[in-house]
Structure 1
Amino acid sequence: MERMKARITVLKCMDNQRIQEEQRIGGHAGPCDAFEVGQTFDAGWQAPEGFCSFAWADIFNGLMMIQCGGSPDYIGPDHTMISCCRDGLCPVVFKIERLDQAC
């Protein structure tokens, strides 16, 4: 099957500041500042410009599955899935959907 482009939509930017404070962990506080809810990116072979490289690495396997036509149980019949980056303090939730356009 031909590899298709995918659209990545930011669904939620979470904030685990309470955990950060309770555990006395330093670093960034508050929601991720790399993304905004509703923001979309169309992805082909490479990460879209401005897309966080850590988030890209975290969602890459699912993205490839969507782009190449895979359909395990966690992928909807409309070739859509939900994924997230694994930053425990400020994770971002993404919707990934296959587009009808080749890479």
Structure 2
Amino acid sequence: MKKVKITVLKTTKQEDLAEEYGIENFSTCPLLKEGEIFYADYAKPEGFCDEAWKAIYQYVFALAHGVDENLFYYNDWIRKPGVAIVCCNDGLRPVIFKLEKTDIISEPNKE
């Protein structure tokens, strides 16, 4: 299993939905910042949002395990092999991530 690099590409806010449904002074995600980088395999990286992890872990898992890219991408999604662009499931302020498979071998937690 290999590590997957997770880069926070964008923190967004759906202005119209936030105006209608969000609390006063609603902002973009307060937990993750654009440009932050995390590495993961089967476990959520330290400091990573729990809800975002639930939304993206299956893509991380697939890339970490060397998924057959022809099946993964169906030739109609991402043109660059080993990359996935995904987002968390917050409908008012989704965070967009770039996932990249790496050659970094994942070591089991030895604690």
Shorter chain as normaliser: what TM range?
0.7 to 0.9
Matched residue count: 100
Give, in whole Å, the separation in 2 of the partners of 1:24 and 1:47: 29
Identical pairs, percent: 33
TM-score (norm 1): 0.86
What is the match of residue 48 of structure 1?
45
Unpaired runs of 5+ residues, structure 1, are: none
CA separation of 1:96/1:27 partners in 2, compared to 1, >3 Å: closer, same or farther? farther
CA separation of 1:24/1:96 partners in 2, compared to 1, >3 Å: closer, same or farther? closer
Residue 52 of structure 2 aligns to which amino acid in structure 1? A
CA separation of 1:58/1:27 partners in 2, compared to 1, >3 Å: closer, same or farther? farther
Task: Say if 1:15 and 1:90, in contact at 8 Å, map to a contact too.
Answer: yes
Task: Please say if 1:87 is aligned against 2:84.
Answer: no
Give, in whole Å, the separation in 1 of the partners of 2:65 and 2:78: 12
Aligned partner of 2:14 among 10, 13, 16: 16
What is the match of residue 32 of structure 2?
35
Secondary structure of 1:90's match?
Answer: coil
Secondary structure of 1:6's match?
Answer: strand
Give, in whole Å, the separation in 2 of the partners of 1:20 and 1:53: 21
What is the match of residue 101 of structure 2?
98
Secondary structure of 2:102's match?
Answer: strand
